[in-house]
Amino acid sequence: MTRSGPFLTLSVYCTLILCFLVGPILIIIPMSFTARDFLEFPPSGYSLRWYVAYFSDPDWTGPTLFSLKVATLSAIASTVFGTMAALALVRGRLLSNALVNAMVAAPMVVPSVITAVAFYMLLTRLRLLGSTVGFVLADTILTLPFVIFPVAANLQRIEPRLEWTALSLGASRFAAIRLVTLPLARSGIAVGAAFAFITAFDEATVSAFISSFEGKTLPKKMFEDIDWSLSPVIAAVGSLLTLVSILTAILLALLRSGTRSTPAHDH
């Protein structure tokens, strides 16, 4: 091949870029197993002490459980309301309107520091800073577009006539949606729900503003600790989070290939 020379150069360049992308993430995993009181790479001794420290310290487990609770509640809310909205937007042919599209995308587009300040002012006035309600409200609106877009994309591929066939066979509109359309859209809904959960769980900017001393999420706790100390506990937390994300990604990929190969009747 005449082009193998330049292509080889390109391959070397791009491999280096991939190392830049992945290296810092992979480096924290061995670091989290260090036996020492401070970070070093490569660690001179290995232990699980920082994982033990993480799981036994209420200052870490508290925010973790709080994040799980808030992300779960807001992912449920945005999955339900987002799926309903996506149905209306697709069947009402509203999504082809550029203005509607922009409005739906707005929470993703507006810089998160602005949303954070807006929420901080609102929740301060409502005395909801650091509360479960405050976080669930904030995370629900932030994650709605992450549900609406994948669900709408999935619905657009579903033949609308399937639903009225069910209607013509005597099903009610709600039964037709619930028994025909939603099962067909479930891979879009699953992707949307996973995006919503991960986005809410990982949300750091709004958290940095609307947390309080008692009510803070895991990203806020990590933010404070990176700012004040560089304890290896954060490496342990980071490694665990990376592991969970990779497992979620694999699960989603399996789910997608599963829905593609099996028809919808095995519900």
Q: Which of residues 15-74 bind other proteins (CB under 8 A)?
A: 17-18, 20-22, 24-25, 27-28, 31, 39, 41
Please select the residue that binds other proteins; options are 14, 48, 251, 254, rule is CB under 8 A. Answer: 14
CB atoms within 10 A of CB 77: 20
Residue with tokens 């929420």: 119
Binding characters for other proteins, 111-150, by CB under 8 A (x = yes): xxxxxxxxxxxx--------------xx-xx--x---x--
Residue with tokens 């449920």: 76
223 is a contact residue toward other proteins (CB under 8 A): yes
- Residue 140 C-beta: closest distance to other proteins, Å: 6
Residue closer to other proteins, measured from CB, 72 or 266 = 72
Cα atoms in the 13 Å half-sphere on the side-chain side of 49? 11
Interacting residues with other proteins between 157 and 196 (CB under 8 A):
159-161, 163-165, 167-168, 173
Two structure tokens written together for 139: 């995370």
Residue closer to other proteins, measured from CB, 48 or 246 = 246
* Distance of alpha carbon 42 from alpha carbon 40, whole angstroms: 6
Please select the residue that binds other proteins; options are 50, 51, 219, 259, rule is CB under 8 A. Answer: 219
* Distance of alpha carbon 263 from alpha carbon 158, whole angstroms: 13
Two structure tokens written together for 30: 């061995």
Q: Where are the alpha helices (DSSP H) in 92-131?
A: 98-109, 112-125
- Residue 117 C-beta: closest distance to other proteins, Å: 5
Please select the residue that binds other proteins; options are 48, 52, 65, 88, rule is CB under 8 A. Answer: 88
* Distance of alpha carbon 14 from alpha carbon 82, whole angstroms: 38
254 is a contact residue toward other proteins (CB under 8 A): no
CB atoms within 10 A of CB 13: 9
Residue closer to other proteins, measured from CB, 2 or 262 = 2
